[in-house]
Structure 1
């Protein structure tokens, strides 16, 4: 019997220690992130998880949003042991559904260097025309 998985938008179900370990040790975009920084990011965001039939968290994503016009999908991570089972698709579908039903968000943005194919299946694409996206790095 194959395991079943459940999507959740309940922030109380987030295993903060596990999420911090995943991101700070395995995610190229968050390596070295402190636990304090990760907890602050969780507290200031909408949080999503996928849990298996043993109630273990196997995936995580968060969205930074004003809840009205804009959302930034980030920190999407699927545990290595759960990859290849459609967990990433389930997670992104759940996030999009939640934002469509609980807000008036007009656009969702993200950045990726290795999952373009996954996100393209959900309608994410590079913007048409000249790029208007700008970044200002902060020095700390």
Structure 2
């Protein structure tokens, strides 16, 4: 069984793998490469790498590293699912020194509530206080 590691070094990340997955996801279908590059450059990124340094999973946090973070663009390549890699990455995220003591970490998910609950995430207790601007299919 291969061994896996987590890296925050964007030089070790495979942009083509990241863009290939995210631009075909339900949440960011059609995202242009230039826009994704800008998003990654302004985020704290996490990659799971296999023993051959090939990227198999990804997630990023949009954060001020003091009070708030938003977890986004989390994925594990289908061929590597079921191996505990999402938990490995989430453990690294939750233990990262720049993310300690934040007042709030938020995320949106359609289908991974069980995973995130294991790391302390729960439903927003006052959804009536939250607002958003949301563009439908902004990249298509």
**Taking structure 1 as the reference length, what is the TM-score of the superposition?**
0.91
Distance in 2 (alpha carbons) for counterparts of 1:6 and 1:92? 12
Whether 1:29 aligns to 2:16 is no
Distance in 2 (alpha carbons) for counterparts of 1:115 and 1:8? 22
Partner of 2:95: 97
Counterparts of 1:113-128 in structure 2, within 5 Å, are 113-128=110-125
SS in 2 for 1:81: helix
Contact residue 14 and residue 47 of structure 1 kept, 8 A: no
Flag the structure with more relative contact order, 1 or 2, with Cα contacts below 8 A and sequence separation at least 6: 2
SS in 1 for 2:11: helix
Distance in 2 (alpha carbons) for counterparts of 1:31 and 1:91? 23
Task: Detail structure 1 runs of 4+ shifted over 4 Å in the superposition.
Answer: none
**Taking structure 2 as the reference length, what is the TM-score of the superposition?**
0.91
Distance in 1 (alpha carbons) for counterparts of 2:37 and 2:12? 14
Residue 130 of structure 1 and its aligned partner are, at CA, apart by 5.1
Distance in 2 (alpha carbons) for counterparts of 1:17 and 1:118? 26
RMSD: 1.6
Deviations 1:5-39 (A, max 9, x none): 101111211111110001112x2101110111110
Whether 1:11 aligns to 2:13 is no
Count of matched residue positions in the alignment of Structure 1 and Structure 2:
136
Deviations 1:94-140 (A, max 9, x none): 11111xx2244222100001100100111100122453221123587
Of the structure 1 ranges 49-58 and 11-20, higher mean CA displacement relative to structure 2 is found in 11-20
Whether 1:106 aligns to 2:103 is yes
Contact residue 3 and residue 53 of structure 1 kept, 8 A: yes
SS in 2 for 1:72: strand
Whether 1:61 aligns to 2:59 is yes
Distance in 1 (alpha carbons) for counterparts of 2:134 and 2:124? 21
Cα 1:120–1:17 change in 2 (3 A) is same
